[in-house]
């Protein structure tokens, strides 16, 4: 297999135009003649950025799960739900399918994303040769599922807004909403910063 960096070819990230980078240093960048975006062989400072974003996301993961995400107030009952107790509530109302989806999207996916991205960064840094194809697939899966974790934020915002229309109850967002949205956005940024080509830079099999 021939790799772009070996034959000094690189594709523009924004318009996919392939550039001949014969005179460009490996760490330097050229300007795309078609869309004027900078073109480089690898994303700059990818590893540092991913690690920084992962640490920030991990710090927010705990308040996001421990604090209340939604207050419900319907006389005479008053509830304060965390993400987990919201899943329990859905389960008890008999829609176990949705309970499973919300549990996966809100609790499982963020922590799996943090773990998987951490694993990808560490294995790429150590130039591991272990199943690069599978690791690339894992990375693509992370890109696809990333934004599904926003589900709970939408649900809380929608419930809050819709319930204001009727006069039968009150729903208000709790303090966990912001850290939770923060976790989702930071992990999305982290997976966008990762450069999958690092998986192949030494782990390449002929």
Partner 1 sequence: MRSIVAKGAPARPWLGATIASGGKVPAAEIVICSYCDTVHRRAEVPGRRTMRCVTCDSPLYRGNGDLSAMLAVTVTAVIAFIVANALPLLTLTSGSSQTRATLWRAIMASYDTDLPFVAIALTLTLIVAPAVELCLLLWVLVPLCLRTRPFAFLGTMGLLRTLRPWRMMEVFFLGVIVAVVKLSALATALPGWGMFGVAVMTFALAALSSFDQGALWRRAEQVAP
Residues that bind partner 1 (CB under 8 A): 1-7, 9-11, 13-20, 34-37, 72, 74, 86, 89-90, 93, 95, 98, 101-102, 132-133, 136-137, 139-140, 147-148, 150-151, 154-155, 157-169, 172-173, 188, 192, 196-197, 199-200
Cα distances from 98 to residues 11, 92, 114, 124, 203, in angstroms, run 42, 11, 23, 36, 40
Q: How far is the CB of 82 from partner 1 (least distance, A)?
A: 14
For the four alpha carbons of 122, 53, 45 and 30, in that order, the dihedral sign comes to positive
Alpha helices, DSSP H only, in 24-73?
A: 46-66
Helix (H) or strand (E) holding 75, with range, is none
Q: How far is the CB of 169 from partner 1 (least distance, A)?
A: 5
Q: How far is the CB of 140 from partner 1 (least distance, A)?
A: 6
Q: Which is nearer to partner 1, 4 or 118 (CB)?
A: 4
Q: How far is the CB of 206 from partner 1 (least distance, A)?
A: 10
- Give the distance from CA 197 to its chain's centroid: 18
Q: How far is the CB of 14 from partner 1 (least distance, A)?
A: 6
What lies within 8 Å, CB to CB, of 37 at 6+ separation is 12, 13, 14, 15, 31
Q: Which is nearer to partner 1, 37 or 108 (CB)?
A: 37
Coil, strand or helix at 201: helix
- Contact present, 9 and 21 (Cβ < 8 Å): yes
Phi, psi of 12 (to 5 degrees): -65, 130
Q: Which is nearer to partner 1, 62 or 148 (CB)?
A: 148
Cα distances from 199 to residues 26, 134, 163, 174, 189, in angstroms, run 17, 10, 48, 40, 19
Q: How far is the CB of 5 from partner 1 (least distance, A)?
A: 6
Cα distance between residue 115 and residue 185, in whole Å: 16
């Amino acid at each position: 297999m021939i790799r772009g960096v070996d034959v000094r070819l690189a594709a523009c990230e924004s318009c996919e135009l392939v550039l001949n980078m014969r005179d460009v240093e490996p760490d330097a960048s050229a300007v795309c003649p078609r869309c004027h975006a900078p073109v480089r062989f690898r994303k700059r400072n990818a590893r540092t950025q991913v690690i920084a974003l992962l640490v920030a996301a991990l710090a927010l993961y705990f308040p996001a799960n421990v604090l209340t995400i939604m207050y419900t107030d319907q006389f005479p009952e008053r509830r304060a739900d965390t993400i987990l107790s919201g899943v329990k509530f859905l389960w008890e109302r008999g829609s176990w399918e949705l309970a499973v989806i919300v549990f996966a999207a809100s609790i499982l996916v963020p922590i799996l994303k943090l773990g998987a991205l951490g694993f990808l960064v560490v294995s790429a840094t150590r130039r591991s040769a272990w199943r690069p194809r599978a690791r690339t697939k894992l990375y693509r899966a992370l890109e696809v599922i990333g934004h599904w974790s926003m589900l709970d934020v939408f649900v809380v915002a929608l419930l809050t807004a819709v319930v204001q229309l009727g006069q039968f109850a009150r729903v208000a967002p709790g303090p966990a909403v912001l850290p939770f949205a923060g976790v989702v956005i930071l992990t999305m940024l982290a997976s966008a910063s990762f450069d999958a080509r690092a998986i192949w830079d030494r782990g390449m099999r002929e």
